[in-house]
Amino acid sequence: MSTDIDKLHDDHDHGPSSGIMRWITTTNHKDIGTMYLWFSLIMFFIGGLMALVIRAELFQPGLQLVIPGFFNQMTTMHALVMIFGAVMPAFVGLANWQLPIMIGAPDMALPRLNNWSFWILPFAFTMMLSTLFMESGGPAAGWTLYPPLSLQGGDSFPFTILAIHMLGVSSILGAINVIATILNMRAPGMTLMKMPIFVWTWLITAFLLIASMPVLAGAVTMLLTDKFFGTMFFTASGGGDPVMFQHIFWFFGHPEVYILILPAFGIVSTIIPAFSRKRLFGYDSMVYATASIALLSFIVWAHHMFTVGMPLAGEIFFMFTTMLIAIPTGVKVFNWVATMWRGSMTFETPMLFAIAFIVLFTIGGFSGLMLAMVPADFQYHDTYFVVAHFHYVLVPGAVFAIMAAVYYWLPKWTGKMYNEGLGKLHFWLTTIFVNLTFFPMHFVGLAGMPRRIPDYAVQFADFNAIASVGAFGFGLSQLLFVYILFNTLKKDVTAEDKVWDGAEGLEWTLSSPPPYHSFEKAPKVD
């Protein structure tokens, strides 16, 4: 297959067009990957500012800064921006940059589609964020959009739904491209079970995207017709069922959770062996564990809604399936520790982020296991304990993995080495503040503070004050990350081709930075 492509593709020497048109018309996987990553960083700061509005209001009991309606818009938008704007595009950006150079391909399989799937995003988010300036304000029913509350939304409602549709289209196109690339464009000799683990996790993630995003599209379309065309899908007074929305939403929502974490598993499984100077322990079981997590993700959705009053048998079924997820996830954590065991470790910035990922993600996994226990979940549900849980798996989980990946591959992408001392400083500040922000949330949640409230009883004040201090520290620390990026880009010292002595994979056989068309001749893999 790859030889055919070489024959068709004769003009090897054409480079990018110049100026702004390079970025608008590009079909190059590296340019598109770069745009995804910058877009994600911008969204990370926009979503972060919203989080800081939330934490500033919650610094003290009483309302000091915003009215409750605006507070709800902030919680809703913070989630939508971070999930669909920051984390998912970051992973797609990493896939764009890395998949072709990891499997020995010249580019992604569907380059024009690739351009389109990126360029949908800025328009979708412009529309979604513009709702904040409408008279009715932005969406305020939470990112889960539960009816009947979401149906009370004002002018922002149809715009938000259209934006979600566009994000879904972008994700599905991206996923199709990833699958087409991985299945058709691997170097000769690279069988499925020889693929780098990051490629495996992205292949599985892409299938999750294709299976789950249309379900979300269906759910939000039904909301739209309920609101504007008089259907009664979710309206009890018309024979509809508000709980059905939650079932449909979470049938998308739980696979979505793994869309946000499986590529992170792939990144950590790449970085830990590189800096332990030892092969990944249990490659096969890592692949099977990832696939099992993905399959299980389709039969656990109702654990997000144990309090809706399901029948006992339903509650027991979803409790058991949810607990089962701990097994493949445990296998992954044990394999990472076994990879480190008796290695020859060094602790550069990517390794530090990867190790912190394992520890803090596991803590998030523990609270996840606690949440699976239905009788205890009746207490935890919709409290700050849940907020602490999912931020532990998403911030020191997904976001740390993204940062690890950026530090790990940045020298390859740019041909320039970042400042290791500043990278380590960024790591330590980020890790300290992330825990200062989210650990106290476990306590206030257990003590009885519900989530999504703009004001709280005075007994929750102290831990909230600490969390707010942590959040501002975390936000400011990320400015250092931006500084490190620009500082790297303006250097003229060039990085070696094989930046890390323990790193393995085809990407390290290319120059740093790699040529515009990555592998024009497919490498041979034994």
Q: Which residues are catalytic?
A: 78, 107, 143, 170-171, 254, 256, 258, 269, 303-304, 329, 332, 451
Q: 68-107: which residues touch another protein (CB under 8 A)?
A: 68-69, 72
In contact, 388 and 367? CB cutoff 8 Å? yes
* Angstrom distance (rounded) from CA 487 to CA 491: 7
Q: Does residue 370 bind another protein (CB under 8 A)?
A: yes
Taking the least distance from each CB to another protein, the nearer of 308 and 489 is 308
Q: Which single residue is written with the structure tokens 């296991």? A: 369
Give the helix ranges, DSSP H, for 185-278. 197-228, 242-259, 262-276
In contact, 404 and 354? CB cutoff 8 Å? yes
Taking the least distance from each CB to another protein, the nearer of 366 and 483 is 366
* Angstrom distance (rounded) from CA 259 to CA 267: 13
* Angstrom distance (rounded) from CA 35 to CA 506: 23
Closest approach of another protein to the CB of residue 89, in Å? 27
Closest approach of another protein to the CB of residue 254, in Å? 19
Q: Does residue 369 bind another protein (CB under 8 A)?
A: yes
Taking the least distance from each CB to another protein, the nearer of 65 and 113 is 65
Q: Which single residue is written with the structure tokens 């523990």? A: 366
Half-sphere exposure of 146 (CA within 13 A, CB side): 9
In contact, 48 and 475? CB cutoff 8 Å? yes
Which span (100-108, 339-347, 394-402, 483-491) binds another protein, by CB under 8 A? 339-347
Q: Does residue 389 bind another protein (CB under 8 A)?
A: no
Q: Does residue 428 bind another protein (CB under 8 A)?
A: no
Q: 258-287: which residues touch another protein (CB under 8 A)?
A: 276-285
Residue 372, helix vs strand vs coil: helix
Closest approach of another protein to the CB of residue 210, in Å? 29
Closest approach of another protein to the CB of residue 267, in Å? 18
Taking the least distance from each CB to another protein, the nearer of 209 and 466 is 466
* Angstrom distance (rounded) from CA 162 to CA 127: 9
Q: 127-156: which residues touch another protein (CB under 8 A)?
A: 140-142, 146, 148-149, 152
Taking the least distance from each CB to another protein, the nearer of 34 and 73 is 73
Closest approach of another protein to the CB of residue 11, in Å? 43
Among 15, 22, 130, 347, binds another protein (CB under 8 A): 347
| Other Cβ atoms within 10 Å of 184 Cβ, number | 13
Q: 175-234: which residues touch another protein (CB under 8 A)?
A: none
Contacts of 8 (CB under 8 A, 6+ apart): none
